[in-house]
C-alpha cells in the first residue's frame, strides 16, 4: 500500500453538502414544478451512477431559480476494482516466449508492463492474460460540471432559446450560477456564466447579491435576507393557508383548484394574499364564466358561500409586500372589471340567437384540411352516436338533437373569448333555448373525460355522443397518417382512447368496438378509405387496447393483471371491451388455482409442439380407432364430455364456468404427457395425437391464448 493511502481513504470518507442553483429570467409557470423535479431526479441519478450518493436531497423552484441541495455527498468517487481479461496466452506469446503485439497492446491499455499481467483460465481450461488493479475515484469537483450540464440538457423543455451572442440554449436566459460544495466554490461555466457563491433575492424587495456561507444556509438566507420563499411546496402550502384564511375573513370559502394553485405558486417568490371585489350584477353570469375570468385570465381565486354560490369577491396573490396594499387591490379590481364587463356583453349577445342558428356556419369552419369541415364532422358523429345509442338504449331523438348542437357553441362570442368553456356554454345556451336537460347535459359532457380521474358523462345520451366524438377523432387522424408519435399528440388522441376505455368499462356498455371503428373509418371523406378501412380499424383497435393495458398495469399490484395475462386475452382480439375485461377477470381467478398454472404450462407445451409440426399433421380430424394408449383415450373422452358445455359457456361469455370445467382436465392432461409420446415414429399415430392436442388447445383458445403465459 502506498504512503498516501490513509490520506486517500480519509478523502473518500469526507462528505460535504452540495448546492446547485441556476438563476434565470422568469421561468414558464406551468412548467416550473416539472422542471424542478426533473432537475432533482436528473442530477441525483447521474451522481448515483457515478457512485456518489447523498444522504438527503431537496429541491427548490421560484420564478427566477431552480436549485438542488444534496446533503452529505462524498467529495470523491470510491476507487474501483478493475478486472480485465486479455488475449489467450497462446496468442500473447510467440514460439520463443516473447510477447506479441496482442500482449503488448493489452498491457498498454492497462497502463502496465507485460510482466505485471496475471493469468487466468476459463471454464474450458483456456489460459488468458489478465489484469487486476485499482482505478482511483475522481474528485466530485471534477465530475460535477459535466453531470450538471447533462441533467440540464435532459430537462423536458419543449422550446429552448438563445440570448446575447451565446450559442448555448436554455428555457430562459441564465444570470447567475451557484455551485457550492461545503464552503468551496466548484469552478465551472455553464450557459456563459461562471459559478460562484452569490445568489439573489427578491427582484424588488432585496435586489442586492447575497453571499452564501454554506449550502445548508441557502433557504434561510433567501427567506430572511432575500425575501424569497424558495421551497415550492412550502410556498404553495403558505399560499393555500393565506387564501383560505382571507376567504374565511370575507365570510366565504376559497375556490381552490390545484392547477391554479400550482400556477400561482410558480409566479411569486414572496406571496401576499389580498382581497378584491366586483359588482354583484356580474353574479348573473354562469359560474363557469366567472371562474374562467378570475382564474384563467387573472390568476385569482374566487370566493363562494358554503352553499356553493359565488360571492362578488376574489383573492389575488401579490409578489410583493406593499406599504400600501390598497393600491394593488384597486389595480386588480380595475383589471377584473372590464373582463367581467366583456363576459357580460358576450353572454347577452349570444343569447339573442338560438344555439341552433350557428349550425350552418360550422359547414364553413375547417376541422382538418383533409377531413373537411366541422359541419361534416357533426354528421359523422351523429351517425356513430345513433349506432351507439341503439345498443345502449339511449333515446334516438335526444341523441340526434344533442349531436346537431354539440359543436354550435364554437361560434359563440363567449367560447371565442374563453375556448376552455366549449361544451359548457353550449349547455347554458341550450337550456336557455328550452332544450331538454338531457340534451343540454350531453352537449357539455361529450368532451368528457378531459383528463385522468375526470368525471364521465351522466347519461346514456352523453355516453353515446362522447364515444362518437372520440371514435371519429381517432378514425380521421389515423386515416390521414397523423397518429401520435413519441410525446407528440396534437389532436389529443391518447386522451380520446383513454376516454373510450373509461366510459365503456366504468359504465359497462356492451359495444362492438371493431364494428364501430369500421363505421367510423369508412365515414371519413378520403377517396381510398374503403380499401384501407380494415387495416386502419385494426391499428386503432390496437392503440385503444394499449391504453387499456396501461390502465390495467397501473394497478397491477391490486388487480393481479400482468403483461403476459393481458397478451393472452389480446390474442383472441375480443370485439367488446367488456368482453375483454370479463375474460381477464375469469383468467385471474383460474390461474390462482393449482390446476390453472398446470394447464397454462401444458398449453405452452402444446403450442410449442404444434408450432414445430407440419400444419397438416395437426389440422386433421381425430380418428378414435388410432387412440391406442389408455392415457390418450382418457384425454379424448374427457374432452368429448366437456367440449359441448365449454363451447356453450364460452359463447355465453360465462368464462369463469367454462374454465371451471376445463380445470377438471388437469389429471387427464398430466397423464397424457407422462405416458404418451406425441412425436411417435408412426406418422398416423403422430398426426392423431397432434389432432387431439389441437382439440384441447382450441377449447382454451376460445377464451385466451394460455401459451402467452409464463410456464
Concatenate the DSSP letters of all residues of 371-413 into one string: TEEHHHHHHHHHHHHHHHHHHHT--HHHHHHHHHHTTGGGGSH
pLDDT at 1: 37
pLDDT > 50? residue 3? no
In a domain, 395, yes or no: yes
Q: Is the dihedral of CA 351, 353, 359, 361 positive or negative?
A: negative
- 195 vs 111, more confident: 195
pLDDT > 50? residue 6? no
Based on the domain organization, do 416 and 523 belong to the same domain?
Answer: yes
Residue pair 430/439 in contact (Cβ under 8 Å)? The answer is: yes
In a domain, 472, yes or no: yes
Least confident of 140-154, 301-315, 387-401, 589-603: 589-603
pLDDT > 90? residue 219? yes
In a domain, 40, yes or no: yes
For residue 17, which phi and psi values (nearest 5 degrees)?
Answer: -80, 145
Averaged pLDDT for residues 65-91: 89
Instruction: Report which secondary-structure segment, H or E, holds 189.
Output: strand 189-190
Averaged pLDDT for residues 629-657: 92
Three-state SS string over 423-452 comes to CHHHHHHHHHCCCCHHHHHHHHHCCCCCCC
Based on the domain organization, do 344 and 329 belong to the same domain?
Answer: yes
In a domain, 563, yes or no: no
d(CA 1, CA 245): 66
Band of the pLDDT at 428, cuts 50, 70, 90?
A: very high
Based on the domain organization, do 60 and 98 belong to the same domain?
Answer: no
Based on the domain organization, do 130 and 144 belong to the same domain?
Answer: no
Number of domains in the chain: 5
Based on the domain organization, do 504 and 636 belong to the same domain?
Answer: no
Band of the pLDDT at 447, cuts 50, 70, 90?
A: very high
Based on the domain organization, do 199 and 273 belong to the same domain?
Answer: no
Domain boundary among 505, 528, 554: 554
| Mean pLDDT value across the chain | 91
In a domain, 559, yes or no: no
What single-letter DSSP state applies at residue 652?
Answer: T
CA distances in angstroms from 435 to 294, 405, 406, listed in the order given:
29, 10, 12
Dump pLDDT digits (tens) for 408-420: 999 999 999 999 9
Instruction: Report which secondary-structure segment, H or E, holds 194.
Output: strand 193-196
Concatenate the DSSP letters of all residues of 265-308 into one string: HTT-SS-EEEEEE--GGGGGS-HHHHHIIIIIIT--EEEE-TTS
Based on the domain organization, do 490 and 371 belong to the same domain?
Answer: yes
Point out which residues pair with 203 in neighbouring strands: none
d(CA 402, CA 277): 38
pLDDT at 707: 82
pLDDT at 710: 74
Q: ∠ CA 590-592-595 to the nearest 5 degrees?
A: 65
Based on the domain organization, do 206 and 251 belong to the same domain?
Answer: no
d(CA 152, CA 193): 14
Above pLDDT 90, what percent of the chain?
Answer: 72
Lookup result for grid cell 482505478: 135
Above pLDDT 70, what percent of the chain?
Answer: 97
Domain enclosing residue 269, as ranges: 233-350
Concatenate the DSSP letters of all residues of 56-88 into one string: EEEEEEETTEEEEEEEEEESBPPPEEEEEEEEE
pLDDT > 80? residue 452? no
Domain boundary among 164, 198, 225: 225
pLDDT > 80? residue 454? yes
Averaged pLDDT for residues 449-463: 91
Based on the domain organization, do 131 and 144 belong to the same domain?
Answer: no
Based on the domain organization, do 390 and 516 belong to the same domain?
Answer: yes
- 188 vs 700, more confident: 188
pLDDT at 617: 53
Band of the pLDDT at 513, cuts 50, 70, 90?
A: very high
Band of the pLDDT at 10, cuts 50, 70, 90?
A: very low
Q: Per residue in 326-347, is it b (16+ CB within 10 Å) or e — as a string?
A: eebbeebbeebeebbeebbebb
Domain boundary among 204, 225, 246: 225
pLDDT > 50? residue 311? yes
pTM for the model stands at 0.80
pLDDT at 25: 96
CATH number at residue 211: 3.30.70
Based on the domain organization, do 16 and 101 belong to the same domain?
Answer: no
Based on the domain organization, do 150 and 70 belong to the same domain?
Answer: yes
pLDDT at 140: 86
Amino acid at each position: 500500500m502506498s504512503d498516501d493511502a490513509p490520506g486517500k481513504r480519509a478523502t473518500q470518507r469526507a462528505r460535504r453538502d452540495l448546492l446547485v442553483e441556476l438563476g434565470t429570467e422568469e421561468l414558464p409557470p406551468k412548467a416550473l414544478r416539472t422542471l424542478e423535479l426533473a432537475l432533482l431526479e436528473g442530477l441525483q441519478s447521474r451522481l448515483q451512477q457515478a457512485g456518489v450518493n447523498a444522504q438527503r436531497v431537496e429541491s427548490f423552484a421560484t420564478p427566477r431559480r431552480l436549485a438542488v441541495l444534496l446533503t452529505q455527498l462524498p467529495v470523491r468517487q470510491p476507487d474501483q476494482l478493475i478486472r480485465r481479461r486479455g488475449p489467450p496466452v497462446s496468442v500473447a506469446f510467440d514460439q520463443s516466449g516473447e510477447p506479441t503485439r496482442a500482449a503488448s497492446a493489452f498491457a498498454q491499455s492497462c497502463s502496465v508492463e507485460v510482466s505485471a499481467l496475471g493469468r487466468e483460465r476459463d471454464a474450458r481450461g483456456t489460459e488468458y492474460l489478465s489484469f487486476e488493479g485499482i482505478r482511483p475515484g475522481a474528485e466530485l469537483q471534477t465530475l460535477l460540471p459535466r453531470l450538471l450540464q447533462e441533467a440540464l440538457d435532459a430537462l423536458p423543455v419543449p422550446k429552448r432559446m438563445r440570448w446575447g451572442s451565446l450559442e448555448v440554449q436554455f428555457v430562459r436566459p441564465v444570470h447567475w450560477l451557484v455551485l457550492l460544495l461545503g464552503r468551496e466554490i466548484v469552478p465551472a461555466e455553464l450557459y456563459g456564466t461562471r459559478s460562484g457563491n452569490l445568489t439573489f433575492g427578491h427582484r424588488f424587495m432585496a435586489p442586492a447579491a447575497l453571499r452564501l456561507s454554506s449550502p445548508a444556509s441557502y433557504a434561510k438566507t433567501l427567506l430572511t435576507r432575500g425575501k424569497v420563499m424558495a421551497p415550492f411546496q412550502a410556498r404553495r402550502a403558505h399560499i393555500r393557508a393565506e387564501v383560505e384564511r382571507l376567504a374565511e375573513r370575507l365570510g366565504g370559502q376559497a375556490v381552490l383548484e390545484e392547477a391554479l394553485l400550482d400556477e400561482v405558486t410558480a409566479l411569486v417568490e414572496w406571496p401576499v394574499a389580498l382581497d378584491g371585489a366586483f359588482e354583484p350584477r356580474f353574479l348573473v353570469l354562469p359560474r363557469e364564466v366567472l371562474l374562467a375570468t378570475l382564474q384563467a385570465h387573472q390568476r385569482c381565486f374566487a370566493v363562494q358561500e358554503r352553499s356553493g354560490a359565488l360571492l362578488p369577491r376574489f383573492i389575488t396573490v401579490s409578489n410583493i409586500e406593499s406599504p400600501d396594499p390598497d393600491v394593488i387591490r384597486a389595480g386588480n379590481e380595475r383589471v377584473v372589471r372590464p373582463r367581467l364587463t366583456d363576459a357580460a356583453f358576450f353572454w347577452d349577445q349570444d343569447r339573442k340567437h338560438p344555439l341552433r342558428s350557428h349550425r350552418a356556419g360550422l359547414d364553413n369552419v375547417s376541422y382538418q384540411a383533409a377531413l373537411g369541415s366541422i359541419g361534416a364532422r357533426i354528421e359523422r358523429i351523429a351517425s356513430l352516436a345513433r349506432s351507439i345509442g341503439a345498443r345502449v338504449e339511449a333515446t334516438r331523438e335526444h341523441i340526434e338533437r344533442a349531436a346537431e348542437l354539440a359543436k354550435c357553441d364554437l361560434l359563440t362570442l363567449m367560447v371565442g373569448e374563453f375556448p376552455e368553456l366549449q361544451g359548457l356554454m353550449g349547455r347554458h345556451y341550450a337550456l336557455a333555448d328550452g332544450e331538454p336537460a338531457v340534451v343540454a347535459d350531453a352537449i357539455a359532457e361529450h368532451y368528457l373525460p378531459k383528463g385522468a380521474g375526470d368525471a364521465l358523462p351522466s347519461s346514456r345520451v352523453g355516453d353515446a355522443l362522447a364515444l362518437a366524438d372520440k371514435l371519429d377523432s381517432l378514425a380521421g387522424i389515423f386515416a390521414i397518417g397523423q397518429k401520435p408519435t413519441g410525446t407528440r399528440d396534437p389532436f389529443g388522441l391518447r386522451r380520446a382512447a383513454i376516454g373510450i376505455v373509461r366510459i365503456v368499462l366504468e359504465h359497462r356498455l356492451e359495444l362492438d368496438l371493431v364494428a364501430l371503428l369500421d363505421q367510423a373509418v369508412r365515414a371519413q371523406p378520403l377517396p381510398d378509405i374503403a380499401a384501407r378501412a380494415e387495416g386502419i380499424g385494426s391499428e386503432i383497435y390496437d392503440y385503444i387496447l394499449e391504453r387499456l393495458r396501461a390502465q390495467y398495469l397501473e394497478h397491477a399490484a391490486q388487480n393481479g393483471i400482468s403483461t403476459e395475462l393481458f397478451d393472452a386475452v389480446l390474442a383472441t382480439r375480443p370485439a367488446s371491451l367488456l368482453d375483454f375485461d370479463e375474460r381477464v377477470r375469469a383468467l385471474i381467478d383460474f390461474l390462482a388455482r393449482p390446476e390453472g398454472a398446470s394447464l397454462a404450462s401444458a398449453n405452452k407445451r402444446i403450442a410449442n409442439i404444434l408450432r414445430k409440426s407440419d400444419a397438416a399433421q395437426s389440422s386433421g380430424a381425430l380418428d378414435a380407432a388410432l387412440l391406442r394408449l389408455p392415457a390418450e383415450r382418457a384425454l379424448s373422452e374427457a374432452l368429448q364430455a366437456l367440449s359441448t358445455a365449454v363451447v356453450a359457456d364460452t359463447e355465453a361469455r360465462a368464462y369463469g364456468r367454462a374454465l371451471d370445467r376445463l380445470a377438471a382436465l388437469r389429471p387427464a392432461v398430466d397423464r397424457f404427457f407422462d405416458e404418451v409420446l406425441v412425436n411417435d415414429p408412426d406418422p398416423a399415430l403422430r398426426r392423431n395425437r397432434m389432432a387431439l392436442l389441437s382439440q384441447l388447445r382450441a377449447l382454451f383458445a376460445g377464451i385466451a391464448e394460455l401459451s402467452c403465459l409464463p410456464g
